[in-house]
Chain A
């Protein structure tokens, strides 16, 4: 089984619908992140969480919300989806020590492809 699991892997929805993307990890890492990837724009950080009680906005948080239900679970919600939220979404984790050393090693899930019509 994958260390970082995202569900669903693919989702097509309509404008205005509420969507939740879920992420769970078995790596035991305390830090979790949501990124989106768009062609020509690379990966951009949406939200990140250092632990269950610590959630922070990234560079493109508008239109998104998150919930850290447990150390191993971090979900991303689109309250009212719009077409420009069509993208590939990645959940990632990192270890606090790696963060202190600034090694930059994020462990990514396989992505959730969201299409908003």
Chain B
């Protein structure tokens, strides 16, 4: 079983829809949770970052973490065609300050928002 499982999609929605992207994980040491967005033929870029449980909002995007259920979500409100991309969840444990870029990524969900 993979440490991080992400709904593979692909997901196709009409413009203006609310999109929900989800990941589950098995490693209880994970405390830092991220969402990366990857446009076609580009590298991933950090979209949202959350520490521990709770919600974080940034414009049309809301990241939600439920550590008790080992479940994270990204919600996109009023989705736009420009949101069409692959969304990757990523997470890492806290290691006393010697952290490196050993993120564990989900498989990625391809999202298409059509006009």
**A contact residues vs B (CB 8 Å cutoff):** 4, 31, 33, 40-45, 48, 50, 56, 58, 90, 92, 94, 99-100, 102-111
Contacts and interface: CB of A to CB of B under 8 A. Distances in A.
B103 interface: yes
A110 B42 contact: yes
Interface stretch (B54-62, B72-80, B92-100): B92-100
Contacts, number: 75
4 tightest Cβ-Cβ pairs between the two chains A and B: A108-B43, A42-B105, A43-B105, A99-B99
Given A104-B34, A105-B46, A111-B41, A40 B100 contact: no
A90 B102 contact: no
A66 to B, nearest CB: 14
Q: Report the contact-size class of chain B (Cβ under 8 Å from the partner).
A: 20 to 34
Contacts of A105: 34, 46, 49
B44 to A, nearest CB: 5
Contact of A106 (B6, B51, B97, B101): B101
A42 B94 CA distance: 22
Nearest to A59: B102
A92 B8 CA distance: 24
Nearest to B43: A108
Nearest to A58: B102
